[in-house]
Amino acid sequence: MKKKKIKAKIIVVSAIAIMLILVTVFADFFAPNDPYTTSASSIRLAPCLKYPFGTDNLGRCVLSRVLYGGRTTIAATFALVFISFAIGAIVGMLCGYYGGIFDKLLMRIADILLAFPQMVVAIVVAGILNGGLGGAMIALGITMWVSFARLSRSHTYSLKNQDFIKAALFAGKSDLYIIAVHIFPNILPPVLTNALTQIGTTMIGLSGLSFLGLGVVPPAAEWGSMISEARAYIQIAPWAVLYPALATVFTIIVFNYLGDVVMDYREA
Amino acid sequence: MIKRVIKKLFCLVIVLVILSFLVFALLYIAPGDPAEKRLTSQGVAITKEVLDSERERLGLLKPFLVRYGEWLLCIVRGDFGISFKDDMPVAPKLVAGLRNTSILALTSLFVSLIISFPLAIISAIRKDGITDHIVRLFSFVGNSLPNFLISVLLMYLLCIKLNLFPVIASGNIQGLFMPVVSLAIPMTGRFVRQIRSEFLNEMKEDYVIGMKGRGVSCRYIILNLVHNCLGHVFTIVALQIGSLMSGSVVIETIFRWPGIGKLVMDSITARDYPVIMGFVIIMGTIYVVINQLSDILCHYLDPRTEI
């Protein structure tokens, strides 16, 4: 009964999440204006029919920039989570399956990476790399794969000694085949749940770096950098800050909630 | 037991050495050559002779490991080198920044603990009641708010709409208010969620059921629960120190609070590597030491946990 209720919640929330993704992916279609066209005659216009969210300091349409910025934020977040997921799952499965010195070495490295404050490392590395969005993604990714690796390692470790794996071994299947066909599908649910819960945190991290000027380089639209830019004239044009801020909060809440309900579902 | 603590301390030293090595290697990951960076950040016109003499002077011609060793010895003695930007020693700058940051960080830590601890306990005791739902909703939203956003929105609301505070933080209590609130809101959200789930786990233990069965008063049970959770609460707080540090970088930059976070952001813009390296060393050391100490403390407060 309880499970059914949570399932309904998951469907609703994921529908909202998919809608968010679709709206930003097809930003060209939904955006009423070009996000990069500056216009001297329409600087800092209050929200009106032509510019539903108003315009910013250079006369650019805030709604269009929010949509395009969402594409940057969401795409970068998904890419980063996916890459960390892939690296972490592969490292974790190999370590858990084979064990031995490589396992020990990699897990020590993971321990050491976890010993440092993640965002502090990210700020410094992104600052030193100075490489725009790519630099920010590398900076966050350095420590992100670790949680995936540890999770998939521990699950692989407990799966390894189960009878169906032994059966596959006796049937003469290769190690690679066993990892890909028998282990991977079984570790997928917990690791995917972890990936879901990481989306919100990654988004906060990426937009935080952009806000500090260590992520996306202007004039490219990104929520963090839009807020940072428009902060200077918040007294005159609060809409240029408030709408990207609302978009950020809404998106993070949706993805965090999705992570939470999926966790509840797995525990229920 | 004491053996374990010694082992723990030994691990601590190793982690710190690796941290220092990685930080030193950062200068190599960074594009460009330190002598050149130093000269350009001082605005000197670069010729081959100037560059070579600068390299000689900075000791860049020695092998990597020798330089690492010399550098590490200096750091241990508390000498963090000389800033590229203004040729002043880095250590006093870092210490001054650290003092201001500690005021900010400790105040917000204190505020969020005071708020979150009772809320989490009430929420856990009245699980699935109306109070629980409200507390959970607020802690969930708080946890989802990036702190830069909170500070920008607070600025808009309190400084511009209501005109209660000056936009640029002054060094007094009034100036402390907004940075502290911006740091405390997301942290309170996380604390409430974690302490609540810790408390709920503890409530499932047999001794609680036993006490309830024996008709022990509710207040006494809660007192016992709080005592048994305290160790884990320390761990939760220690793990949050990291986000407190990165949060203070953001918040200090926004409110122009003269802490170590603002110092490092300025240094990143100016490519002032000795300051950045000093920042990572100090922050990493604080984080690692606090976390190891909290593990040991956790064991003393709650002997059920292993070190």
Lowest mean pLDDT among A256-265, B4-13, B61-70: B61-70
- A120 at interface of B, judged by CB pairs closer than 8 A: yes
Query: In terms of pLDDT, which residue wins out, A248 or B231?
Result: A248
| Own/partner pairs, A154-161, CB within 8 angstroms, 24+ separation | A154/A96, A155/A92, A155/A96, A155/A186, A155/A187, A155/A190, A155/A191, A156/A92, A156/A93, A156/A95, A156/A96, A156/A97, A156/A183, A156/A187, A157/A96, A159/A96, A159/A183, A159/A186, A159/A187, A160/A96, A160/A97
What's the complex ipTM? Answer: 0.81
A220 vs A43, A55, A58, A226, B137, CA distance in Å?
A: 18, 16, 13, 9, 34
Report the residue of chain A nearest B141, measured CA to CA.
Answer: A253
Mean pLDDT along residues B13-42: 74
Q: With cut-offs at 50, 70 and 90, classify the pLDDT of residue B170.
A: low
At residue A258, the pLDDT reads: 92
Interface probe, candidates B12, B27, B101, B144, chain A, greatest A C-beta count within 10 A: B144
Lowest mean pLDDT among A83-97, A201-215, B31-45, B77-91: B31-45
Residue B191 to residue B184: CA distance in whole angstroms: 10
Q: Do B143 and A256 touch (CB under 8 A)?
A: yes
DSSP chain B: -HHHHHHHHHHHHHHHHHHHHHHHHHHHHSSS-HHHHHHHHHTPPP-HHHHHHHHHHHTTTS-HHHHHHHHHHHHHTT---B-TTT--BHHHHHHHHHHHHHHHHHHHHHHHHHHHHHHHHHHHHTTTSHHHHHHHHHHHHHHHS-HHHHHHHHIIIIIIIS--S-SSPPSSHHHHHHHHHHHHHHHHHHHHHHHHHHHHHHHTSHHHHHHHHTT--HHHHHHHHHHHHHHHHHHHHHHHHHHHHHHHHHHHHHHT--SHHHHHHHHHHHT-HHHHHHHHHHHHHHHHHHHHHHHHHHHHH-TTS--
What confidence tens digit (pLDDT) does each residue in B245-266 have?
888 888 888 888 888 988 988 8
What confidence tens digit (pLDDT) does each residue in B178-196 have?
888 889 999 999 999 999 9
A33 vs A23, A38, A226, CA distance in Å?
A: 15, 11, 17
At residue A80, the pLDDT reads: 94
The most confident of the ranges A183-197, A223-237, B57-71 is A183-197
The pLDDT mean for chain B works out to 83
At residue A18, the pLDDT reads: 93
Q: Do B26 and A224 touch (CB under 8 A)?
A: no
Q: With cut-offs at 50, 70 and 90, classify the pLDDT of residue B60.
A: low
Judge whether B261 and B249 are in contact, CB under 8 Å: yes
Task: Kindly list the residues from chain B whose CB atom is less than 8 angstroms away from the CB atom of residue A227.
Answer: 148-149, 152
Q: With cut-offs at 50, 70 and 90, classify the pLDDT of residue B153.
A: confident
Query: In terms of pLDDT, which residue wins out, B5 or B28?
Result: B5
Judge whether A77 and A24 are in contact, CB under 8 Å: no
Q: Which of A124, A129, A256 lies nearest to residue B280, judging by beta carbons?
A: A124
Provide the whole-model pTM: 0.86
3-state secondary structure of A55: strand
Q: Which of A128, A129, A212 lies nearest to residue B250, judging by beta carbons?
A: A212
Pick from A148, A141, A143: nearest CA to A85: A148
At residue A13, the pLDDT reads: 92
Q: With cut-offs at 50, 70 and 90, classify the pLDDT of residue B109.
A: very high
How close B220 gets to chain A, by Cα (Å)? 30
- A32 at interface of B, judged by CB pairs closer than 8 A: no
At residue B253, the pLDDT reads: 87
Percent of chain B with pLDDT over 70: 89
Percent of chain B with pLDDT over 90: 9
Mean pLDDT along residues A241-255: 90
Q: Which of A117, A123, A208 lies nearest to residue B146, judging by beta carbons?
A: A208
At residue A1, the pLDDT reads: 65
Q: With cut-offs at 50, 70 and 90, classify the pLDDT of residue B33.
A: low
**CB count, 10 Å around CB of B225?**
21
Query: In terms of pLDDT, which residue wins out, B8 or B1?
Result: B8
- B16 at interface of A, judged by CB pairs closer than 8 A: no
Task: Kindly list the residues from chain A whose CB atom is less than 8 angstroms away from the CB atom of residue B155.
Answer: 231, 234
The number of C-beta contacts closer than 8 angstroms across A and B is 118
Mean pLDDT along residues B102-131: 90
Residue A80 to residue B22: CA distance in whole angstroms: 23
How close A161 gets to chain B, by Cα (Å)? 26
Q: Which of A119, A130, A235 lies nearest to residue B246, judging by beta carbons?
A: A119
At residue A11, the pLDDT reads: 92
